[in-house]
Amino acid sequence: MSSAEERVNAMRGYKATLNNPRVSDEAKRNAQSMLDQLGGSQPSEDLYNQSGESNKDPMRVNAGLKAASHNPNVSEQGRQNAAERVDNPEE
């Protein structure tokens, strides 16, 4: 696997194997071995670092902040923070 995205996708498959109750213990051991070879959480960290904050669409970020500021399942402090950031999402 060459790119971080390909490694993360492979890891997803191996993690699914580990959590599938219909998979044999041997297959789970193999999946764990492959996960270890792929570098633990490093590929997903690489993928996150590649994408960075600059690739986020400001309109979508703003929409998410507006949604969070009106969501009753978000804490009061979280709603206030989101409301303050609605027009300044980079803070």
Tell me if residue 70 falls in helix, strand or coil.
Answer: helix
* Pair of tokens at residue 51: 């994408």
Which pLDDT tens digits describe the chain residue by residue (91 residues)? 457 778 888 888 998 999 999 999 999 999 999 888 887 656 566 666 665 555 677 788 888 999 999 999 999 999 999 998 887 756 5
pTM exceeds 0.85 for this model: no
Residue 73 vs residues 21, 45, 86: alpha-carbon distances, Å: 32, 28, 18
